[in-house]
Each structure stands twice: as C-alpha cells, then as structure tokens.
C-alpha cells in the first residue's frame, strides 16, 4: 500500500492534489517506524533548510541579561503600587473624617466612601500621567539618538546584501 501511494504521488506531482507535497525540497516519504526520535526530527528540520537559532555572542548574552533585568524591575513595580494605594487611601480617609492623628486607625470599610474613592482615583491618575510624561522625556532623546546613529538594517553574518529576510 505505501508503495502504491508513493507511485501515485510521483505520477501526480504536476497536478494539485491532496497527495502532492506542499514543500518542494522536503523528502517525499519518511517512515519513522511509529515513533519520532530527536535525531529524526533534527534531520527533518535540517532537510527543510531551517537552521536553529544560536546566540553565542557576548552581546547576545548581555542583551538577555538586560531583558531579564527590565522584566524583573517592571514586574516588581506592580507590587509597589498596592501598599502605595492603601497609604494614599488611608491619608485621604483621615482627612475626610478629620482625624488629626494618622496613627489612630480608621475602619477600612469607612474609607470606601464614594468621595474618598473619587479623590483617590484622581490622584492615582495624575500620578500615572506624570510618570508617563517623565518616561517619555527620558526615552525620547534615546530614540532620536538611535535613529541617527544606529544603522536601520544591521548586517547579518551570512550575507552583507541588504536587509535581513523574515
């Protein structure tokens, strides 16, 4: 049966059919004996002309470390917002109920008053806007410098002919 199928496939390569191979350089028929091994998968990938990505340069390692640091700092910034929001809410609550001592506790359920929450949301929105303006002011000159001094298409190791292909 497999031999007959392979013969039909060879006969109908010019026709568009379900048995025609979609990849022109791929092997016609591979029999893996029911199970796939890592070496058979690797040989299949190499037969398609796909090379595995290897990043062994020192610059690539430094980039990976910088990505990790950026992710960690950004992720931890979210944990700072939780206690900060609670502290601001507590200060607003003390001002609303005109309690002079900030060390004197107020029941948290009393701080859920609409006017307190509106002021809290407003303050947090202003803070977020100010942080965004500062971030833009810090990042924009770096973007201009990158546009001016960094080549638009870095040359790849394999060819020096134009932009890299996707």
Q: Model's pTM, two decimal places?
A: 0.48
The two tokens of residue 31 are 């029999």
Q: What is the mean pLDDT of residues 81-90?
A: 92
32 pLDDT band, cuts 50/70/90, is very low
* pLDDT value, residue 79: 85
Interatomic CA distance for residues 65 and 73, integer angstroms: 12
From residue 59, how far is each of 8, 64, 65, 77, 122 by CA, in Å? 52, 9, 10, 27, 44
Torsion sign (Cα): 118, 122, 128, 131: negative
Q: What is the pLDDT of residues 123-162, one digit of tens each?
A: 999 999 999 999 999 999 998 888 888 776 655 555 555 5
Q: What is the pLDDT of residues 87-122, one digit of tens each?
A: 999 999 999 999 888 788 899 999 999 999 999 999
């Amino acid at each position: 049966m497999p031999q007959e199928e392979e013969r039909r496939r060879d006969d109908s390569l010019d026709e568009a059919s379900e048995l025609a191979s979609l990849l022109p350089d791929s092997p016609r028929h591979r029999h893996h004996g029911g199970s796939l091994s890592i070496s058979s998968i690797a040989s299949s990938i190499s037969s398609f002309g796909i090379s595995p990505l290897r990043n062994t340069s020192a610059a690539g390692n430094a980039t990976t470390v910088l990505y990790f640091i950026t992710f960690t700092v950004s992720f931890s910034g979210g944990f700072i917002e939780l206690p900060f929001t609670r502290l601001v809410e507590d200060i607003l609550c003390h001002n609303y109920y005109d309690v002079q001592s900030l060390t004197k506790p107020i029941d948290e359920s009393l701080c859920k008053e609409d006017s307190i929450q509106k002021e809290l949301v407003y303050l947090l929105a202003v803070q977020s806007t100010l942080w965004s303006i500062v971030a833009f002011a810090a990042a924009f000159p770096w973007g201009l410098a990158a546009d001016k001094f960094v080549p638009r298409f870095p040359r790849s190791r394999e060819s020096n002919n134009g932009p890299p292909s996707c």
